[in-house]
Structures are given as C-alpha cells and as structure tokens.
Amino acid sequence: MTKTVSMADALFVKLEARIRSGELPPGARLPTQKEIAEEERVSRTVVREAVARLEAQGMAVARQGSGVFVSDEARYQAFQITRQDMGELAEVIRLLEVRLSVEAEMAAFAAARRTLTDISAMRGALRDMASVAEDPVASAAADARFHAAIARATQNETFVRLIDFLGVRLVPPRNLYLRDQPAEAQRAYVEKVRAEHEAIVDAIVRMNPVGARDAARHHMQESLSRHTELNEAANISRES
C-alpha cells in the first residue's frame, strides 16, 4: 500500500511537471493509462491514482470516450514547487518558513474541530512512518499523509487543498539533511521527528488548540533551524 502510494506520488509529480513546463499544454490529450504504465514501468493502479490526483487539482479533465485532457485552467496555476526545487536547500528553507505559520494555525483549528476519524488517520500515518522508517521515500509519503490528516481535521477544505497540492514536497528530503551522516544520526533524527509528531497529536486529541499550535510551531521551527544551519555550513564551505 505504502509503496503504491509513493509510486503514485512520484508519477503525479512527473506528469504535473510535463503540464507546467508546457510539454503537455492546455487541451492536450494525456497518453492512455496503458501507454503511461508501459513508459514509466508502473502498474495501471499507480497511473489511475496519479491521474485522479491531476483531475482533483483541476489540472486535467476526463472526457468520456475520448480520454483525459490537460484542462484550460492548468495554465493559470502558476504557483509550483517541484521535486527538483526541493533538492535545493534555499527552496526548502523558504517553504519551511511558510509552513511555520500555516501549520501552527492548522494544528490549532484541528484541535478545536477534530473527530475520532481524524485522530485515527493521524495515528495510522504515524504507525506507517514507524514501520517504514528505514525507507526515506516511503517515510516521506507517510509523513505527508500525517499532515494531510491534520488538514482534514480542520474541516476547512482550503487547508486540505493546500496540503494536498504540496503532497510529498511537504517533507524535506531526509538525505538533504543527513547526507554523509552515520546510521546512528539517522535513527536519532527519525526518533526526534516521531516525538515532535506525537506531541502535536497529543494536543489535538486533548482538544487543546494552544498546545497544538505550540507543538506544530516547535516541530516546524526545529526543521527550519536544522536546514538553516546546514545551508549556512554549505555557504561557508563554498566560500573557503
């Protein structure tokens, strides 16, 4: 399940990039599911999930009997953060700065409005993260699902759409921060992030908006600090 989700995420990002770059312009017909599956060497289930996400975000529209086409509105979706962007520390830091304020308030709203179903989704995502901790790609996908569950708990569709748009790009690539680090450092990082996530869930469960806001802000601030320090070290290295 997790592997399928992460493969669908990767395919979505690739198709999205082709649309945004103009390779697939508004009105263009997407290749068939069979063609995409063969070209990308993935299952049709993966293709269906990726294309469904394009449709959900208004980037593609299905026409019965004709196929799936790039929507005319796709040209107006100027804001984008690509997987390539997320390979650059400066872009990761800019996104984390935005998330610092957005996710703090999102957690507060979630604490005030969450349902038992929302709590179950958050805890399920945390269990998934723990079970695939050794796999950075699968772990990032589970991490993204955790934040998506918090967005849904706000009962505010705009939060849901924003977090869904960011998808796996919501989570900075672990190897960007932990490159060349020993296994012990990677395990310590995973445990620290787990504890930060648990603190957010605990406050949301207790319907404590102030505590949820503080826990989410702390989580984002920690990530921002880690990547800012890494960026500063990289700049010093380049200058020396």
Q: Nearest CA to 21 among 61, 60, 74, 69?
A: 74
> In CATH terms, is domain 85-239 a member of 3.40.50.620?
no
Residue 98's pLDDT band, with cuts at 50, 70 and 90, is: confident
Task: Write down the pLDDT at residue 102.
Answer: 93
Residue 237, burial from CB neighbour count under 10 angstroms (0-12, 13-18, 19+):
exposed
**What is the tens place of the pLDDT at every residue in 181-195?**
677 877 888 899 999
156-159, long-range: CB within 8 Å, 24+ apart, which pairs?
Answer: 156/109, 159/106, 159/109
Residue 41's pLDDT is 92
Tell me, yes or no, if the pTM score tops 0.75: no
Average pLDDT of the chain? 84
Give 34-43's long-range contacts (Cβ < 8 A, gap of 24+).
Answer: 36/11, 40/11, 40/14, 42/7, 42/11, 43/4
CATH 1.10.10.10 matches 2-76:
yes
pLDDT at position 218 over 90: yes
Q: What is the pLDDT of residue 46?
A: 93
Cβ atoms < 10 Å from Cβ of 192: 14
Question: Per-domain residue ranges for the chain?
Answer: 2-76, 85-239
* pLDDT tens digit sequence for 24-80: 888 999 999 999 999 999 999 999 999 998 998 888 999 988 999 999 877 555 445
Question: Looking at the predicted structure, is the pLDDT value of residue 237 above 60?
Answer: no
